[in-house]
A and B are shown apart, each in its own frame.
Chain A
């Protein structure tokens, strides 16, 4: 059974750096085609993709946030981290990590398992 769980600070001050960790189980981050995405949802709003990383190390970032985001993985710990620098109140929202569906070692273009999410508030 695939599970993901987000952890990190729930309150961050403006201009600080936010680091979130996604701890996964039920799959290995070294499996071919395996990938994890980070998605943000501002309160009352829609889902916004932030970044993804695959087992082969391929990474991609949301264009508008590229300069502020870093995604990384620690395979031995089954963790994927997302770092966001210089946070702003507009970064307030629930942050989800999600497993990218994979079929026969080929990543599919949807998210088949999601963590419970972590609500992060940016406030002084």
Chain B
């Protein structure tokens, strides 16, 4: 089945830019979604359809592709952005909903 690979952790100082990568075989041919999960809470979608933001998500959050990697970029990072972030795609294989292993964003 399809596998998405994320770095386990990313650390950034407040006000700086955080970049969280998500890799997968030929990921450019898929649509990528990103979720934020704060401790003790359910995930919340922050990016859908590769680059779109749901209402209520700050424009500091953006999604992009480069080569064989999708990236979630968080500009002007705040303490409240500290969370686990998961990428997700839909795959036509046996298990359609595929999540990455998650990246813990630490705000220093």
Interface residues of chain A, those whose CB is within 8 Å of chain B, are 37, 39, 46-49, 52, 60, 62-63, 96, 98, 101, 108-112, 114-117
B54 A112 Cβ-Cβ under 8 A: yes
Contact B42 A115, beta carbon cutoff 8 Å: yes
CB neighbours of B41 from chain A (8 A): 116
What number of B residues sit within 8 Å (CB to CB) of A? 25
Residues B42 and A96 in contact, CB atoms below 8 Å apart: yes
Chain A residues closer than 8 Å to B97, beta-carbon distance: 37, 39, 49, 52, 109
Q: With A and B bound together, what is the CA distance between A12 and B33 in angstroms?
A: 33
Interface string of B7-48 (1 = CB under 8 A from A): 000000000000000000000000101010000011111001
Kindly list chain B residues whose C-beta atoms are within 8 Å of the C-beta of A37: 97
> Interface code B91-104, partner A: CB below 8 Å = 1, 0 otherwise?
00011111111100
A101-B48, A110-B33 are known contacts; what are 6 more A-B pairs with Cβ within 8 Å?
A: A46-B100, A47-B43, A48-B99, A49-B98, A110-B45, A111-B43
With a cutoff of 8 Å between Cβ atoms, the chain A residues found around residue B35 in the complex are: 47, 111
Given contacts A114-B42, A114-B43, A117-B42, contact A109 B31 (CB under 8 A): yes
* A96, B41: Cα distance in complex, Å: 11
Query: Measured between alpha carbons, how far is A93 from B23 in the docked complex, in Å?
Result: 26
Contacts of A96 in B (CB 8 A): 42-43
B95 pairs with A46, CB closer than 8 A: no
Bits for B73-107, please: 1 = Cβ < 8 Å to A, else 0.
Answer: 00000000000001011100011111111100000
19 contacts between A and B (CB under 8 A): A37-B97, A46-B86, A46-B99, A46-B101, A47-B35, A47-B88, A52-B97, A63-B95, A96-B43, A101-B48, A109-B33, A109-B97, A110-B33, A110-B48, A111-B43, A112-B48, A115-B42, A116-B42, A117-B42
